[in-house]
Structure 1
Amino acid sequence: MTVFTLGLNHTTAPVDLRGRFAFAPEQLSPALQGFRERLRRALPEAALLSTCNRTELYVAAAQPGQVRELVHPAIDWLAAQGGVSGDQLRSHTYVLEQREAARHAFRVASGLDSMVLGEPQILGQMKQAVREADAAGTLGTTLHQLFQRSFSVAKDVRSSTEIGAHSISMAAAAVRLASQLFEDLKQIQVLFVGAGEMIELVATHFSARAPRMMAIANRTLERGEKLAGRFGAQALRLADLPQRLHEFDAVISCTASTLPIIGLGAVKSALKARRRRPMFMVDLAVPRDIEPEVASLSDVYLYTVDDLSQLVQAAGEKRQAAVAQAEAIIDAGVQSFSHWLDQRASVPLIQALNAQADQWRGAEIARARKLLAKGADVEAVLDALSRGLTQKLLHGALAELHGSGDGEQRAQTAETISRLFLRQASRNPTDERR
């Protein structure tokens, strides 16, 4: 078996390109089925992980040689999903195989490959990716093992290290930026667009600073009202946003929309109604919720997820010590998975050897029964049975030895046959107990 990962993330691709390859949870299963159909002759295992910071395709194939056969079609398939050429996508992607693919999966699950070191959301997103792959029928034994071991390693990292204790979350970074623009956050009005986990987290951080007013705008009013009730905030319909935008000093948006929901024209109108008072805007969505042209307006301070990453700072020696501990746990996990993968690769050979041995045994037993039925001596029949099995077992090895070429090749063949067939019987545990 072989495993590889094809992906792009916040270190290899800008936010606008990442946005092209963002899959909503309900899109993962159909996408995987489409990928399997595209490569139906190979029938690989596949799982798709998609977050605001990364899109990664995990693939397992039956034969090592299939990696080269699958990578290029996989890139072309992924490029088509984002509407770009394969060549354009290749310059922003990475392909990792075997041990390195496992190491990457373990680091992602543990939060070591995240924009915010140690952030916990990625683990839930990976589990969602596994559920969708399972629903699509593309998970398979190898990827199941890879991801279950990823979750186990991530659990060990979080319980044994302080990897998440020394980082600045995106939510905290947004509040820090806002406090740099406004003298007193208690005097501002804040609008949150969306009602997902990230908005809930950001709203929690902002509410701790007790702003004058908070509001939540969501496509589904009922869900928006439910979240707004937790923070004593107003609930707005998304359709009312253009008419109410001017009321807010800070706007933080994170929805699953495939198109921007706050356009340049709407922000211009809001600024005019605000008499040029500045607006602080944070777009945490991928694809973007706020048109990028909004950043060109002189009274708007617009930040994306990539901008916020610059505020994620190291926590000195404690952080480095936690990373080192986490990497050691991951190294052990990689070694264990590689050993399992190697054993998995020998399964077809073991099955073939057992089948061949059963065939030989069956043939010799059938011959022995015929001799016994004719009245042959039992000892002679048993002797013939043992000789027949022995000859069949040694035939291939002796033929290989006699057919060896030059001296060096013959010596290597002899060494291999000696190692396989000339182990000392006296060292057999069964003999030692006698």
Structure 2
Amino acid sequence: MSVWALGLNHTTAPLDLRGRFAFALDQIAPTLQSLRSSFGTGRHPQVEAAIISTCNRTEIYCAAEQAALDHTFGWLAQSGGVAPALLRSHAYTLHDGEAARHAFRVASGLDSMVLGEAQILGQMKDAVRAAETAGALGSTLNQLFQRSFAVAKEVRTATEIGAHSISMAAAAVRLAGQLFEDLRQTRVLFVGAGEMIDLAATHFAAKEPKALAIANRTLERGEKLASRFGGEAMRLADLPGRLAEFDIVVSCTASTLPIIGLGAVERALKARKHRPMFMVDLAVPRDVEPEVKALEDVYLYTVDDLAQVVQQGQANRQAAVAQAEAIIDAGVQSFMHWLGQRGTVPLIQQLNAQADEWRAAEMARARKLLAKGEPIDAVLEAMSRGLTQKMMHGALAELHAGDAASREQTAQTISRLFLRKER
């Protein structure tokens, strides 16, 4: 069995390219079906697959009897509508042990923009559930991901990898605090109502802003989140007309196109008499048109812009990283041992089937003898001899076959298998 992975992340690809390969959670199932059907029924009839897609990465994990990295790579390039050469210059491909190591590092937060952040683990679990629901997750990938979750748990328990980590939301608050002297005098708008907005709203609410609002496509969901922070909810359609009311705008939706355009921000600035606006676009693809960043009174940050802030203090956690890598090494060795054993499964199944056939034949023979009135001891003796002869026949035949060298090799193998000393 072979395992392979490929993808692109915040260290290998720019934001706009990552946006072309971003899949919302409800898109995972049909996307996996498309990927698996692309293999056809030829050399790769039963390919397992899973897709992890976050604001910082899109990764595909596959497993099959034979690796098909090139095919998977070509499919991904086509799905994003980019030339394979462009994708290849920004992507990474991994095989077997390296694929496992990467999955374990991602789950443990070692490959994240925020070293040690825990959110990625939940995102991976969501991706695995989506793959399982789509019927794309087989025993090999299931084992890979379950082991990655176990390794991540051990890393977080045994090390301080997540200590003092700065989340995206905390970084946004820190930057906003540099622009506005007193955050308690600001009005904050959150666009979207997902996990990232929930986290950002929690951080900003702790600063007790003057007003807090949630704009969401589904008003009911927006109201539910807004009520937790004593804020108001509005429909996404009302956003352009009310944008000028807010000093701080944090957006993260699953929209495939920008929802805050240049024109809307220009009108908002005019209405604000050019008082500054602080904007954070945490979405991939972008929620805010990139041209907005050129406006004089707007301070727009994307997920990539926040990288320098969230990486501060990472040097203090290098000892924890070394500990985490040791735990991951052990996890990789264990997984590769398990994967190697998967190659013997068909042989084990054949041996069990053969043994069951012999056992059934001897049991049928014993029942006939008992029905004829044969003594039980005699029947048991005959059954045990019959089983022994069947088990030994092949080995004894091999000992008498072939030349001297092959007989010697056979003798050593048989001695190792049948003459073991039980301890």
Bin the TM-score by the shorter chain: 0.7 to 0.9
Task: Tell me the equivalent position of 2:136.
Answer: 138
1:347 and 2:345 correspond: yes
In structure 2, distance between residues paired with 1:171 and 1:183: 19
SS of match in other structure, 2:253: coil
Residues 293-304 of structure 1 aligned to structure 2 (within 5 Å) = 293-304=291-302
Query: How big is the shift at 1:319?
Result: 1.0
In structure 1, distance between residues paired with 2:417 and 2:254: 67
Alpha-carbon contact 1:107-1:113 (below 8 Å) kept = yes
Alpha-carbon contact 2:115-2:314 (below 8 Å) kept = no
| Distance change in 2, residues 1:360/1:236 (3 Å) | closer
| Cα offsets for 1:109-142 (capped at 9, x unmatched) | 1111111111111111111111111111110111
SS of match in other structure, 1:49: strand
Query: How big is the shift at 1:364?
Result: 11
| Distance change in 2, residues 1:194/1:398 (3 Å) | farther
Moved more, 420-429 or 232-241: 420-429
| Distance change in 2, residues 1:418/1:239 (3 Å) | same
In structure 1, distance between residues paired with 2:159 and 2:28: 32
Equivalent of residue 276 in structure 1, options 265, 274, 277? 274
In structure 1, distance between residues paired with 2:156 and 2:211: 36
CA RMSD of aligned residues (A): 3.0
| Cα offsets for 1:67-92 (capped at 9, x unmatched) | 1xx21221122122211122221222
Equivalent of residue 421 in structure 1, options 409, 414, 417? 414
Task: Tell me the equivalent position of 2:37.
Answer: 37
Residues 332-343 of structure 1 aligned to structure 2 (within 5 Å) = 332-343=330-341
Alpha-carbon contact 1:255-1:289 (below 8 Å) kept = yes
In structure 1, distance between residues paired with 2:400 and 2:85: 52
In structure 2, distance between residues paired with 1:78 and 1:135: 21
Equivalent of residue 95 in structure 2, options 97, 100, 120? 97
SS of match in other structure, 1:26: helix
Look up the equivalent residue of 1:327 and give its one-letter code.
E
TM, length-normalised to structure 2: 0.87
Look up the equivalent residue of 1:36 and give its one-letter code.
R
Query: How big is the shift at 1:234?
Result: 2.2
| Distance change in 2, residues 1:99/1:416 (3 Å) | farther
SS of match in other structure, 1:158: helix
Residues 241-390 of structure 1 aligned to structure 2 (within 5 Å) = 241-315=239-313, 318-353=316-351
1:57 and 2:57 correspond: no
TM, length-normalised to structure 1: 0.85
SS of match in other structure, 1:285: coil
SS of match in other structure, 2:175: helix
Look up the equivalent residue of 1:393 and give its one-letter code.
A
| Distance change in 2, residues 1:415/1:242 (3 Å) | farther
| Distance change in 2, residues 1:309/1:424 (3 Å) | closer
Alpha-carbon contact 1:29-1:136 (below 8 Å) kept = yes
Query: How big is the shift at 1:387?
Result: 7.8
In structure 2, distance between residues paired with 1:385 and 1:302: 79
In structure 2, distance between residues paired with 1:167 and 1:93: 27
Alpha-carbon contact 2:277-2:299 (below 8 Å) kept = yes
Look up the equivalent residue of 2:394 and give its one-letter code.
K
Equivalent of residue 220 in structure 1, options 218, 221, 226? 218
1:2 and 2:2 correspond: yes
| Distance change in 2, residues 1:364/1:75 (3 Å) | same
Query: How big is the shift at 1:384?
Result: 11
| Cα offsets for 1:171-215 (capped at 9, x unmatched) | 010011111112222222211111111111111111111222222
Equivalent of residue 50 in structure 2, options 47, 50, 65? 47
| Distance change in 2, residues 1:420/1:360 (3 Å) | farther
SS of match in other structure, 2:111: coil
Query: How big is the shift at 1:417?
Result: 3.7
In structure 2, distance between residues paired with 1:391 and 1:145: 38
Alpha-carbon contact 1:167-1:312 (below 8 Å) kept = yes
Look up the equivalent residue of 2:31 and give its one-letter code.
A
In structure 2, distance between residues paired with 1:233 and 1:358: 69
Query: How big is the shift at 1:53?
Result: 0.8
Query: How big is the shift at 1:389?
Result: 6.6
Alpha-carbon contact 2:400-2:407 (below 8 Å) kept = no
Alpha-carbon contact 1:364-1:388 (below 8 Å) kept = no
**Aligned residues: percent identity?**
67
Task: Tell me the equivalent position of 2:395.
Answer: 393
Query: How big is the shift at 1:423?
Result: 3.0
Number of residue equivalences:
409
| Distance change in 2, residues 1:120/1:414 (3 Å) | farther
In structure 2, distance between residues paired with 1:365 and 1:228: 72
Look up the equivalent residue of 1:260 and give its one-letter code.
P
Task: Tell me the equivalent position of 1:372.
Answer: none
Task: Tell me the equivalent position of 1:178.
Answer: 176
| Distance change in 2, residues 1:87/1:414 (3 Å) | farther
Look up the equivalent residue of 1:11 and give its one-letter code.
T
SS of match in other structure, 1:23: coil
| Distance change in 2, residues 1:293/1:36 (3 Å) | same
